[in-house]
Each structure stands twice: as C-alpha cells, then as structure tokens.
Structure 1
Amino acid sequence: MDKPELADFLRSRRERLQPSHVGLPTGPRRRTPGLRREEVAQLAHISTEYYTRLEQARGPHPSRRVLAGIVRALRLSDAERDHLYHLAGEPPGPPPGPSREVRQSILDLIDRMPQAAAIVLDATYEVIAWNALAAALLEDFSALAPHERNLIRRHFLHPDPAQRHYGLSGEEVFGLFAAGHLRATAARYPNDPGIRALVDELANGSDEFARLWTSHQVRTARHLHKTIHHPVVGPITLNCDVLVVPEQDQHVVIFTAEPGSPSDQALQLLSVLGTQNMDIDT
C-alpha cells in the first residue's frame, strides 16, 4: 500500500468534484475547491475521521468495501478505479457495477448534433450525458441529483402518470422493456448494491414494476417513432434511434424529426429557446 500516493490521489479526485456533480447543495462560504472530506465520507458510507486519515497518509489498509464506496463517492472512471485499487495494494478485479464514464468521442458526438436531442444512458438507464437540445426537449438534467436522472425509476415512480415518460408515446412498451432490461442488467452485475437498491425501491413502490419483474421478460421491441406533447412548442413527432456502446455497456438515444416537417421546425425553435423561461412540470 502506497499511503502518500493514495493520499495525493484521493485529494486530487475530491478537489475536482463540485457538489452539484453528486447531488449536494453548494451552500455559502465554501472556501475549499471541490467536495469537503465529510461529504466524500458521507457518500462513501464511512466515517469522516477514517477518510481524513486516508488523505493524510496515516490511515489503515482500506477494505474492498471501503474502496468500492470511495469509487462511487468520487465518481472515478474505470481507469481511476483500477489505479486506486493498485495504490491500496488490492487487485482491481472486475468492475463492480455499470460504467458511468462517457468516452470523450461520444460527448463530442452528441454536442455536434445541434438539430438532434441526444442522451447517453448507463446500463441502469441513468442519464449520464446529454446535449442542450435534449435538456430543452425533456428536462434540465443538470438540475437533478444523479439518482433522479434514472429513466426507469422515473417511469415507475413518478407521481404524475402523464409525465413519467416525459409525455412520450409508447410508455406501455417502455415499461415492458425497462423491467426486462433492468433484470438483464442485474444479472450482469450481481454484486452491485446500487442495482439491488434500485430494484428493491421499484418493487416496493410500484405494483406495475413488481408484476413485470416477476414475469421474467428480458427482451421486447422498442418504439422507434414517438410523439411528445411539449408544453412550449406543442406536439412533436420524433424518430428514436438507439446506438450501443458495447465496451461501456451504454446506449446513446438520439431523437430527430423529419427534415422540413413541422416537428423539425419545433425542434429548431427549442434549440433556440433552450431551457430558459420554460416552466415545465416534469
């Protein structure tokens, strides 16, 4: 275990994160860059004293459970996770859960499509990246805590049935697909506590999900054409294409409209309006 290098690495990763990145309020009088130590400890489910000792190069050898908590708290990439384990003197082993690291080329791709709304989903269908038009079409994901960006959680637990699928058509088909998709994801990552917690939350909070979960259906067709009733620009008919990023176990969902159609004009208007002055009840 390389205590000095581990301490420096933890400190550098903590200082690059902002509270908004992990769903915490910024608050006044924040004099240190990035997250506070106590915030990281809270997110990792360890004591502040224990984490502080690690950053001061005087902590004990951390267990794999502690390392996994730190990986989640600091939003480490797969490469950073492996580096952390090596510094702690532990073999990395397989990733414990779905990757939330989005390749820079994918981020560049969705930003270079100003006439298409695009989101990137991890294996649990949490929105982990989006472009400006997607925020205007669906919602401003940056204003949400990470767990609130999960489309499956939103579909089954949203208090307003009309908004649980953002007003998009085909919500029944999505519900069937979502339950089956999550079951397949849980099978690929059997040791991921976040997935287990999500399944438990959905099963306890939604009779619909509980029924679909027990059906053991793991694959169904997805709607490739959708209509959304947007509160600002009205109904928009969209093509929905899903690109798979297999090495990351992620999906890029792209919404486009037929060129020159009224829906295309509505999307262009949304690209100008953005998320400003929109009071959207989502």
Structure 2
Amino acid sequence: MSSDVHSLGGLLSIWRERLLPADVGLESSGRRRTKGLRREELAQLAGVSVDYVMRLEQGRSRTPSAQIVASLARALQLDRTETALLYRAAGLTPPRTGTVSHHIPPGVQRMITRMSDLPLAAFAADWTLLTSTSLWQALFQAPSVIHDPEQNLIVQTFIDESIARIATPRGGPDAFERALVADLRCSAAELSGDSRFRAFIADVRARSPRFAELWEEGRAAVHQTIVKTIHHPVVGDVTLDCDVVTVPDSDVKLVVYTTTESGPDAEKLEFLRVGAIGASMTRS
C-alpha cells in the first residue's frame, strides 16, 4: 500500500478503514482481520473490480476517471471537502459550484441505506439517477447505477419514452411532464454556467418536440408530489404516492414511493421487497 497518506492510494485506504459494513448497508460476515470495509466491499459499492481497488491503493494505478472517482466518493460517504481532495489526488479538477453535482452528502447516503425497505432513489439536478434502493430497482425493473450509470429521467420521459410504459401518473402524463420540465427550469437558473447542462437541454429540445413545447412555456416550479400507478410484469398495477424532496444545501433530489401499511398495494410492494432481498443475497 502507498505509504503517503495524502496520495490517492493512501486516502482510499484510510477512508475505507473508517467505515463499518453496517454504515453502508452490508452485513458483516466472517472474521475480519482489519478494521473497516474490505477491498471487495468497497469494490462492490463503487462498481469496480477488487483488483482495480487494490491497484489504486498500491499506487499501481493513479489515473481513475472522474466517473470512478465520483463512485468511490459516494461509496466512501465523503463530504464535499474530502471529495474535492480525492479528485485532486487523482489528478482531476473537482466539480465546480454552479455545475450539476453528483455528490450525495454523507448523511443523506446513510439515510438512503437505512431506508432500503422503500422504493427510494437520489437524482442530480438534471435528473440523472445517482443511486437507488434494491426495491426501487425491483419496482421499476431497472438496473442499478453501477450497471447502468447513464439513467436519466428526462431522457426516459421525453426521448425513449420508456417511463410511459412503466408508470402512469394520476390524471395522465401531462401534469407529470409539466412538473418535470418546470423543475428543470428551476435548476437552469442556478446552472447557467454549466456548459454540459446547457448542451443537455439543447439536445433534448432538439429531439423532443413535446419537451421543447413545455420548455418554451417558461414555467418554473419545484417538483414535489404526484400519485402514480406502476405497471409491473409480476405483481400487476401498484398505485403509490410519489414524493420528491430536495436535500437542503444540495441539488440532490430524493424520490420516494409509499403507500398505506395495509391493502393490495402494500402487499404487492412487500412481495417485491422480499424478492429484492433474495436477489441481493444471491448476488453477494
């Protein structure tokens, strides 16, 4: 392992050792010879190979991509200062303020871990999916961010239109589409200096007449609550309340689906939850 605690490898090792499996939603198994997370556990959380984590810690690999650094920062539950330090140690420029951030505050990451029995996901300001619970993935028949890091709700709604096949908002798609675009308008005011964000908006406008029409309306409002019916191939239709919460002092949006404690929808959600746990245990 790198002896320099300020090096990329040294930082990864120190930050890995300060986390317990329970902190990241993993069960502790077997005798642990060292404190903290094992390399294979960090690799699992970040979506990289164990060999790659080892090479980074030993200094044999020093140039991870920005995407991998962001994944490692989320897995290690780093705050903004530590995340910036990790970027610099990797020879990368930390994300600037005024740009779309993929940083999930450590407290929010822990909250997501402890709310794993709900269909819950975190999105960036441009509605790129940052992380999701296993039950979210089971409900929407969607891969994890580790397996598909390019998932974006705007694209799924207005470009490939896959969301329309999966979920129907109460009252039809119009209100949902308007709420989504109006929310994106709010972000645009704060992200006007982000060239990637501007290019993203321009691309969606060019490819989706519906998005372009709603964008030209100029409405700006935070997306908060809507009722949706999810069309699931196994359990059938599930009607749930969908709430959107923006994390204070952050661009991260938490989207959570809930229902009453009893009734057909609660039973269907519980069936999916048990199945998600079984699938997770099989993968591990």
TM-score normalised by the chain length of structure 1: 0.67
Match 1:116 to one of 118, 126, 129: 118
User: Residue in 1 aligned with 2:200?
Assistant: 198
- Partner deviation per Cα, 1:57-105 (whole Å, 9 max, x = no partner): xxxxxxxxxxxxx5x66326631454479889xx989614133222333
- Cα drift, residue 172 of structure 1: 2.0
For the residue of structure 1 that corresponds to 2:246, the secondary structure is strand
- Cα drift, residue 34 of structure 1: 5.5
The percentage of aligned residue pairs carrying the same residue is 25
- Conservation of the 8 A alpha-carbon contact between 1:102 and 1:129: no
- Map 1:152-231 → 2, pairs under 5 A: 152-158=154-160, 160=162, 162-163=164-165, 166-169=166-169, 170-219=172-221, 223-231=225-233
**How far apart are the structure 2 equivalents of 1:254 and 1:219?**
19
**How far apart are the structure 2 equivalents of 1:33 and 1:85?**
17
**How far apart are the structure 1 equivalents of 2:230 and 2:121?**
16
User: Residue in 2 aligned with 1:269?
Assistant: 271
**How far apart are the structure 2 equivalents of 1:276 and 1:201?**
40
**How far apart are the structure 1 equivalents of 2:53 and 2:94?**
34
**How far apart are the structure 2 equivalents of 1:219 and 1:34?**
43
- Conservation of the 8 A alpha-carbon contact between 1:6 and 1:87: no
User: Residue in 2 aligned with 1:250?
Assistant: 252
For the residue of structure 1 that corresponds to 2:230, the secondary structure is strand
- Is 1:140 aligned to 2:139, yes or no? no
State the one-letter code of the partner of 1:141. Answer: S
**How far apart are the structure 1 equivalents of 2:130 and 2:117?**
20
User: Residue in 1 aligned with 2:7?
Assistant: 8
State the one-letter code of the partner of 1:142. Answer: V
Moved more, 214-223 or 194-203: 214-223
For the residue of structure 1 that corresponds to 2:121, the secondary structure is strand
Match 1:74 to one of 66, 69, 72: 69
- Cα drift, residue 240 of structure 1: 1.6
- Conservation of the 8 A alpha-carbon contact between 1:174 and 1:222: no
State the one-letter code of the partner of 1:178. Answer: L
- Partner deviation per Cα, 1:105-134 (whole Å, 9 max, x = no partner): 323323333542111122112221221211
**How far apart are the structure 1 equivalents of 2:52 and 2:122?**
31
For the residue of structure 2 that corresponds to 1:198, the secondary structure is helix
- Conservation of the 8 A alpha-carbon contact between 1:173 and 1:222: no
Structure 1 unaligned runs (5+)? 44-69, 278-282
State the one-letter code of the partner of 2:143. Answer: D
Match 1:33 to one of 55, 66, 70: 55
- Cα drift, residue 245 of structure 1: 0.9
TM-score normalised by the chain length of structure 2: 0.66
RMSD: 4.0
